[in-house]
Amino acid sequence: MKYFAALRLICVKVVLLVSLTVKATEPSPKIGLALSGGGAKGAAHIGVLEVLEENRIPVHMVTGTSMGSYIGGMLALGFSAGEIKRRTFDINWHDGYFDRLTRKELQLKEKKRTDEFLLYTDIGLSLDGEIKPLPGLVLGQKMASMLRELTGNPPNFDSFDQLVIPYRAVATDLEKIEPVVLDSGNLVQAMQASMSVPGALRPVQKDGRLLVDGGIVNNMPVDQVKMLGAEIVIAVDLRDAMFKLEDLNSAVNVVNQLTTYMTNTGSDQQVALLNLDRDVYIVPDVSYMVATDFNLMYQAYRSGREAALAQLPKLLRYQIDEQQYARYMADKRRQWLPATYSFTDIHIVNQTTLSDTSLYEWLSLEPDRNYSVKELEQAIDRLYAKGIFEKITYEVEEDGKHLSIIVVEKAWGPGYLNLKLSIERDNEQRPNYAVGAEYLLTNVTRTGGEWKSKILLGVQDKLTTGLYLPLDYQQQYFAEFGIGWQQEIREFNNVARFDADQDEVKYKSLQLFSQLGWNIERDSRLLMGIDGGYSDTQGEFSAVPKQEVTSLSGYGEYNYDSLDNFFFPSTGTLLDVQLGYRYSDAEIENGDISESVPYLDSQMIQPLTWDEHSVVALVRASGSESNAFYPVSPQSLGGLFNLSGFNRFHLTGNYSAFGSLIYRYHVDDVNFKLFSAPLYLGGSIERGGVWLDKDDISWDSSITAGSVYIALDTLLGPAVLAYGVAENDNGSLYFAFGSQL
């Protein structure tokens, strides 16, 4: 008996040893990850990846749709969950839905132009009056740039099987409404095609097809990960919840209900492909958000973690030991992302009317020099900042030595129409308003010349037209010529020269100018020019004499502007200084007054920001001596933040000096889904004065003012509600909207 018992024990041990040996040598199953679309909800995928990494569960292949294609692509490149999280959360995804560059990225002349015409419609308008609308609200330039920086812009691949983890993205053929599996080529383009939400981002053109968000036809590509050879599938479903009956009370919600049904039905078909005894189906609770709630991405990430942890008992069946996982992690480290590129050949695919030389000069890229992806993006942004291109992309060949830059001119150009609408209303005086339009005709010369005309109607009526002519291909030197007509009302108060009841004066002028300029760098320039013209000045009552002036001036000017936002600056500096000498001849009823005088026009703006607080210091000084009855070059103060408490142009003279400190506190961002608008509370302290004679200038004769305000920085311009007070019982409630420039 003892003999048989010992024999049985030996047999059991042998069987156990053999089974353990077989298990140890058994290859782990090939695990595939299928990541669904969902916009901002896609941050939940990062939480899932984090749990997989923490528990040593490998991923051997990955497929994704929309935001899932981005997360999956980052994983396929070899990024860890922590790296994906950091890069994804460090970027402002709202920026991807606006193609306009930030103000700091614009050339100085573009900053000044866009500050005035904030209704940047960019509508195409030909010289014969044909209107050419944009092909889409958002063309995808900024989104492509963001994806290139996030991924490191790897070179093109013959197959996405060459990635550290084999990868597929799913898009939709917009013509045939059928799925398109992207399995080779440019990884960033594949991601962008899969993420291009119809109506929000322009479709991506590839191989003769228009591709949009894959969620329309296959929002969770389980079938594709199985085709890659996955034996076990981990599927992450970020489906939207259906609306309840009481919520179906608007056209938008009704349309959303239908699209949600279609998307969820497609996902249900993919769920049916899962074997729920072996596969793992993860459904994070993201019902509290929609695809555009990028401000809730961290909550989505937490929801992803929680959902994955709830499935941990099933996931742990596929856990591998520490040694195996260390080898797996080493094998999947990023292989396709060199720190820098050095190109032997840089080729521009020029789909514009500009010369190749101009494009090469603006890019300033040279062969056989090291460039990081960030430096390449900066070069692309320099070119895109010209405002005349629809799309600029670049591709690195697989060997990393050849760079192709594709430059596409706006198909709706070369003429563009932009608009202006502004109002400053106080409760005491007339409203200061302006409506206007600007027409810009680009590429009138091979070096990028422009013809610009604008019309403004309101308290100031203005009509101007002029040419901007770069003198070299890099546009470092330029000449400008123009003519302008202007009519405006100025006010004179407490000035002995005028009757007590006479304060409104109408100025009309016709001016011509020409100047030469040097663009020192993006933010600064030097100008030297001459201007001259004729002005007609008439008081409100016939008892006040009419004045006619002819003038000729020569001047030098320096401009520096690195402000991130002209209306609510947080960083940068603005400095404008113009020094000139003017000859004028004024004709009035009592005779002529001829004089030659120097003049100054200057301002400086310097913000200081800490945490959510900002203080903006502003100083202005302008003027020249004049013995004419009315100022030849009138200087004015009045209006919100410009001696608050007075209406605009309330104080006018030959000289003005002004300083202010404007404080603001960033309360919150008002979320409008695709974009958000900062909300501010603040106040100002102001001091300034206007004088007819230089000898009258003094601190004691200047005026103290201030204001409190609430403001919203919208896409259409600043909206401000304020109350301003000044000395001598001057006070006013203001509403201001748009640019007051």
Active site members: 66, 213
- Tokens for 317, please give them: 């069946």
Exposed, middle or buried by CB within 10 Å (0-12, 13-18, 19+), for 30?
middle
In a 3-state reduction of DSSP, which class is residue 29?
Answer: coil
C-alpha distances out from residue 436 to 116, 131, 173, 463, Å: 10, 18, 41, 10
Neighbouring C-alpha atoms within 13 Å toward the C-beta of 388: 20
The answer to whether the CB of 709 falls within 8 A of the CB of 399 is no
Neighbours of 255 (CB within 10 A): 10
Exposed, middle or buried by CB within 10 Å (0-12, 13-18, 19+), for 56?
middle
Helices (H), 38-140: 43-54, 67-76, 81-89, 108-116
Rg for the chain (alpha carbons), in Å?
33
Give the contacts of 694 (CB within 8 A, at least 6 positions apart).
623, 625, 654, 655
- Tokens for 255, please give them: 């349309």
Give the contacts of 250 (CB within 8 A, at least 6 positions apart).
none
Which residue's entry shows tokens 């890099």?
474
Q: Report the alpha-carbon distance of residue 234 to residue 249 in Å, rounded.
A: 37
Return the closest-CA partner of residue 566 out of 196, 143, 117.
117
Neighbours of 128 (CB within 10 A): 6
Which residue's entry shows tokens 């201001």?
736
